[in-house]
Structure 1
Amino acid sequence: MAPPSKLAVATSSVLRLVKEEASYHKELEQQEVRIKRLEGSTGDDNAEYQLKQERQALEETKNVLPTVRQKIAQALEKLEQEIESNKEAGGTASTDDVTKAKGAVAEAKKSIREIS
């Protein structure tokens, strides 16, 4: 089996990062729900400690997002360069790879727009 092309590698990298970012956003939502639930509970001696831990986890997740966004932007730029290189080389990559790459570009741009 032939190794994956640079285009396929760049595509999978962008898709992985977009998926990772979506996972962090889902985690943020879950943490916010847990915090609200803990704020509403009373009488639990351990609730204050758990609340502090959840808030800390929420802040850590928020701090990771800018780094992931930057990685998406860099991977997107590299993927766009690979698509352009493929065009200049006469379309050496399979049409399936090019289609996946263009889909990944669209997903990454959508993700970046949602963030902004």
Structure 2
Amino acid sequence: MPAPSPLKIATDAVTRLTKEEKMYQKELISQKSRVEKLEADLKNGIGNEDGNAEFMVRQEQKAMEETKAVFGPLKTRIGEAVSRLEEQVASAEGDSNASAAELTKARELLASTPKDDA
């Protein structure tokens, strides 16, 4: 089995990083929901039988802040991966041996990936 081309590697990297960002977004929404529920329960006196409801709220808030902290570096990595993919696409366009399917997939991915100025 031949080694994957640099174009395929760059395409897969962007795909993986954007998927990772989506998963962190889902996790953040889930964490916000848990914090809101815990805070509402604490305010209403529900679920504080063991006396650690405030601790649980702080722990969930800390986890939420840690998740938020991931987005800055992740956006930077996505930007770098997109730049590498753009370079690989430009290189592959000039190469007659480049796979048309890989090139098409890379172009589609570039079109669908929002480009941030990181």
Deviation per residue, 1:5-39 (Å, 9 max, x gap): 00000000000000000011101100000000000
Quick check: which one's helix share is greater? 1
Aligned to 1:81: 87
Higher relative contact order, chain-length normalized (CA < 8 Å, sep 6+): 1
Which segment drifts farther, 99-108 or 76-85?
99-108
Q: Secondary structure, in 3 states, of the residue corresponding to 2:4?
A: coil
- Paired with 1:35 and 1:84, the residues of 2 have a C-alpha distance of 46
- Identity among equivalent positions (%) equals 38
Please report how far the alpha carbon of residue 103 of structure 1 lies from its aligned counterpart in structure 2 after TM superposition.
2.0
- Write the mapping of 1:14-29 to structure 2, written as runs, cut at 5 A: 14-29=14-29
User: Structure 1 length as normaliser, TM-score?
Assistant: 0.89
- Structure 2 length-normalised TM: 0.88
**2:100 aligned to which of 95, 100, 112:** 95
Equivalent position of 1:71 in the other structure: 77
Gaps of 5+ in 1: none
Q: How far did residue 102 of structure 1 move?
A: 1.2
Deviations 1:22-63 (A, max 9, x none): 011101100000000000112411211110000001111111
1:74 is matched by which residue type in structure 2? E
Residues 42-81 of structure 1: pairs in structure 2 closer than 5 A: 42-43=45-46, 44=48, 45-81=51-87
Letter in 2 for 1:24: Y
For residue 38 of structure 1, what is the aligned residue in structure 2?
A: 38
Number of residue equivalences: 111
**Aligned equivalents of 1:23, 1:94: Cα separation in 2:** 30
Distance 2:93 2:101 in 1: 14
The runs of at least 4 consecutive aligned structure 1 residues that moved more than 4 Å come to none
Other-structure match for 1:3: 3
